[in-house]
Structure 1
C-alpha cells in the first residue's frame, strides 16, 4: 500500500482529486452548518432581513485560518438568498480591468465570492470601493490627456470576501463590508458532529471512540477532519474493517504519520531538529528550514502556526524555541540550562 505525503492530509489546501468529495460534504443550509454559533446567528439575521426587504444582502467579510468554512458559508449565503454564485480569488484579479469585467457581468442580486481578498492589486481594490458603495465603476477610455472616464452602472450584488489575514486589508475596503465575521478553530465536540455527518454521507460505520480519535488529530479544522476521515475509510476498506473504533482509527492515522496531537512528519521534524540539534533553541527560521529540508515559507506558514497554538514552539526575538511540552511530546529529557542562562547577566 503506497503512503501519502502527510502534508496532503494536514495541509489546509485541498488536492485536486479531493475537491469533488469535499464539495459533496459541504452543508448546503445555514442550519446544517456545524460550529461558529455566533457568526451563524448574526449572519442569519442579516440574510433574513435582506429577504424581508427584497434587497441584496449586505457585503460580508469572513476572516480566519484556512479550512474553517469560509467558502462553504459563501455558498450558503448564495443558497439562502436564492442567488447565483460567482467565485474568484484575489491573486486572479491583478488589474482593474479584470475586476471591471467580472462586476459588469453580474446579475441583479448575484453573490460574488473573492477568496484571499487581501491579495488583490491596489488598482482593483480602489475600483472595488466605488462598486461596493455606489454599484458603479468608472472605465477609463484612452490614454494621457485624451483619457475619458465613463461611469458604468452595476446591478446590485453581494460581495463575500474571505481572508486569512484580515490585518492586510486596507481600512477603506474593510469598512465597506456591512457584516464582518471571524471564524474560530473548532472544539473536539464540534468536529465530532462534522465527522458524524460526513461519515453518514460516506456510508461509514464509526464508533464514538473512532470519532473522538479522528477529531483529536484534526487540528481544530473541519477540512482536515474530513480529509482524515476519508483516509481512515480507505484504510478500513483495504483491511476489511467494517466498524472503525478508536484502535482502528489510531492505527490508520499512524499509518499516515499523523500522531496523537495531529502533528505530521514536518511538525515533528521541526521539533526534533530544535531539541536534538540545538538543545531546544533559539534557532533562526532559515537554519531550521535547512535542517528539515523545506523552504522557509513552508515551515513558517504550514508548521509553525499549529505548533505555536499548541504551545510546543515559541517565537522569540532570538529565534524559535522548543517548549517543555515539546520535549514531553517527543519523549525526550530537556538538557540542563547553559551556564549563561543561569547567570544574572544573561539577557535571554
Structure 2
C-alpha cells in the first residue's frame, strides 16, 4: 500500500474534493472486500495479458461501500479513460446512443444506479454490450428504418443498490457480478487511519474504534464522521490535533449520531413506527409521508441498517419495530405490540 502521508489534502479543500481525495487509487490501496478485490484483479490481469477490454462488470450493494471507487480503479488499472454517467440521466434511447457513440476504444463507461435507466435505453444496451453495436431508428411509423452503428469496444461498469430491479437480460450480459458487503469494525478502523493521515489529524486507536462503531459498516459514513471530528478538534482542541474519545463523542453528539450510529432520520423512522403506529405493521409509503422523506431513501438507506441490527423487520403487511428498537428509544413496549413471530 502506498504511503498516505504523501497524499495530504490541499488547503483549499471542499467537501467533494475531500471525498474524492480520500478514495484509494488502486486495488492494493482499497481496504476490505477481499474476495471482490481478488476477483477484479484476476479479471483485469487477464484482460491486460490478452490486450483486450475487460469484461463488463456489475457492482451491487448498499450505498457508500466503494462501487464508484472500484469503477475508477478499474479504469486506472486498465490504463483506460473513464466516462461517468448515471441511470436517471439516461431517460431516452437517444441519450444512451449519444453516450455510446462517443466512446473511444477500450474506454470504461461507468453508469451509477443503472437500475434507474429508461426501459428503451436498457434494451439498446443489450446489443451494445454483446456485439458493440446499436441500431438507430430513423423516421416514424411504417417508413421507419433501422441503421446499424458500430461502437468502439468498451467496458461497462454498472453500479446498483437494487440489483433485483435489473431485468435478467441485462444482468446476464455482465461478465462479472460482485456484491459488496458491509465492513467489519476492524476494516473501518483501517479506513479511518488512512484518511486521518490525509486529513492531518491524530486519531488514536480508541478514537478510531469509536468512530468505526458508529459508522454503520460503511466507509463513506466513516470518512464523513471523521471529517466532523476533525472539525471539532480544529475548533475546540486549541493547538492539539489529537482527537480523543471524548472529542469523538462530543462531535458526533452535536451531529445527532448516537452510540450505534443512528442519525436523526433513523430515529425518526423508528419513533414513527413505535409511537405513531404502535410498533407496526406500517406500509413504506405511509412511513415516508410521516417522516417527510422519500420512500426510496428509507428503503435503500435507512431500512437496511435497521434490519441488520435487529431494530426493524420487513413483513408482507409492512414494517415492524422489534423489542430492541423499543429498548434503544427508551420507550416501554405496550402489550398489544406485534412481533415478527406474529406476522
Please give the TM-score of this superposition, normalised by the length of structure 2.
Answer: 0.89
Paired position in structure 2 for 1:323: 322
Paired position in structure 1 for 2:130: 133
Residues 41-100 of structure 1, C-alpha deviation per residue, up to 9 Å, x if partnerless?
Answer: 001000000000111111111111111101000000000010000000111111111111
Stretches of structure 2 that go unaligned for 5 or more consecutive residues are 1-13
Could you say if the C-alpha distance between residues 145 and 25 of structure 1 is closer, same or farther in structure 2, counting changes exceeding 3 Å?
Answer: same
Query: After superposition, where does 1:140-289 map in structure 2 within 5 Å?
Result: 140-240=137-237, 241-289=240-288
Alpha-carbon offset, residue 101 of structure 1: 1.1
Query: After superposition, where does 1:32-51 map in structure 2 within 5 Å?
Result: 32-51=29-48
Separation in 2, partners of 1:43, 1:92:
27
Paired position in structure 2 for 1:13: none
Paired position in structure 2 for 1:306: 305
Match for residue 73 of structure 2 among 71, 76, 93: 76
Alpha-carbon offset, residue 297 of structure 1: 4.6
Pairing 1:56–2:53 present:
yes
Paired position in structure 2 for 1:14: none
Query: After superposition, where does 1:9-28 map in structure 2 within 5 Å?
Result: 18-28=15-25
Residues 142-192 of structure 1, C-alpha deviation per residue, up to 9 Å, x if partnerless?
Answer: 223332222211111111111111111111111111111110111111111
Alpha-carbon offset, residue 291 of structure 1: 4.6
Q: Is the 8 A contact 1:208 1:245 kept in 2?
A: no
Could you say if the C-alpha distance between residues 293 and 149 of structure 1 is closer, same or farther in structure 2, counting changes exceeding 3 Å?
Answer: closer
Alpha-carbon offset, residue 317 of structure 1: 3.7
Match for residue 29 of structure 1 among 20, 26, 31: 26
- Aligned residues between the structures: 326
Q: Report SS of the residue matched to 2:281.
A: coil
Paired position in structure 1 for 2:10: none
Paired position in structure 2 for 1:100: 97
Could you say if the C-alpha distance between residues 291 and 236 of structure 1 is closer, same or farther in structure 2, counting changes exceeding 3 Å?
Answer: same
Separation in 2, partners of 1:279, 1:178:
47
Residues 303-342 of structure 1, C-alpha deviation per residue, up to 9 Å, x if partnerless?
Answer: 322211210112234433221211222233323457xx8x
Q: Is the 8 A contact 2:62 2:301 kept in 1?
A: no
Paired position in structure 1 for 2:106: 109
Residues 229-257 of structure 1, C-alpha deviation per residue, up to 9 Å, x if partnerless?
Answer: 10111111100252112221111101111
Could you say if the C-alpha distance between residues 289 and 55 of structure 1 is closer, same or farther in structure 2, counting changes exceeding 3 Å?
Answer: closer
Stretches of structure 1 that go unaligned for 5 or more consecutive residues are 1-16
Alpha-carbon offset, residue 196 of structure 1: 0.6
Could you say if the C-alpha distance between residues 179 and 266 of structure 1 is closer, same or farther in structure 2, counting changes exceeding 3 Å?
Answer: same
Residues 100-154 of structure 1, C-alpha deviation per residue, up to 9 Å, x if partnerless?
Answer: 1111111111100011111111221111111111111112222233322222111
Could you say if the C-alpha distance between residues 269 and 50 of structure 1 is closer, same or farther in structure 2, counting changes exceeding 3 Å?
Answer: same
Alpha-carbon offset, residue 24 of structure 1: 0.4
Separation in 2, partners of 1:110, 1:313:
43
Q: Report SS of the residue matched to 1:205.
A: coil
Alpha-carbon offset, residue 302 of structure 1: 3.7
